[in-house]
Chains A and B, each alone.
Chain A
Amino acid sequence: NAGVTQTPKFQVLKTGQSMTLQCAQDMNHNSMYWYRQDPGMGLRLIYYSASEGTTDKGEVPNGYNVSRLNKREFSLRLESAAPSQTSVYFCASNPPVAGGGETQYFGPGTRLLVL
């Protein structure tokens, strides 16, 4: 049981390049999330998916797109990377149980540097 996995661990991009961050969970969780974390700031929600086939914007969605490929996988795409997107990206998931369903489990993160 690997939990939440993310690839790649680290990536360097040039301004304008595109890339996709991959996330997968093997816990049979319905909900999945993408966050970014910048120095001195908390985790900020980019996009989330309450269940397979649905996605919705979070607090900071501009410049990103997502795909919930199936129940296990939730990818984040940067179409044209900008230096402001330099950050650490975390994927998370949580089970569908009410009264504890919001407990989120995080992947190891992807460090992205945009030059």
Chain B
Amino acid sequence: QKEVEQNSGPLSVPEGAIASLNCTYSDRGSQSFFWYRQYSGKSPELIMFIYSNGDKEDGRFTAQLNKASQYVSLLIRDSQPSDSATYLCAVSLSGGYNKLIFGAGTRLAVHP
């Protein structure tokens, strides 16, 4: 059973701080990794994807990937109350089936 694990939280950070969200996965053959944000009662929306080891930055967001450790993280700099949401980590299944496995999500709360 291929799995994606996330700490459910809530992760509480003050406004302006860095929020660090982590994810581990079990499928060593996975090649693509995604972070989705989901506000309460809404559908998931893509924040970032990463394919290569290392860091990928997009505005206040940085995704980090370490395939050897089977670890993906998302850093949110200068956290804002509007960043309060559940963050879902998703990993593509190996074998080219174009399917994703999602973690249960980490709830982030940014307080003023």
Contact = CB atoms under 8 A, between A and B. Distances in A.
Contacts, number: 53
For the complex, would chain A's binding face be called helix, strand, loop or mixed by DSSP majority?
loop
Given A42-B105, A99-B51, A106 B98 contact: no
B45 A106 contact: yes
Interface residues of B, number: 23
Contacts of A31: 98
A8 B102 CA distance: 24
B98 A101 contact: yes
Interface residues of A, number: 25
A40 B8 contact: yes
A42 B102 contact: yes
Interface stretch (A43-51, A60-68, A77-85): A43-51
Given A42-B103, A45-B99, A106 B92 contact: no
Nearest to A42: B102
B100 A90 contact: no
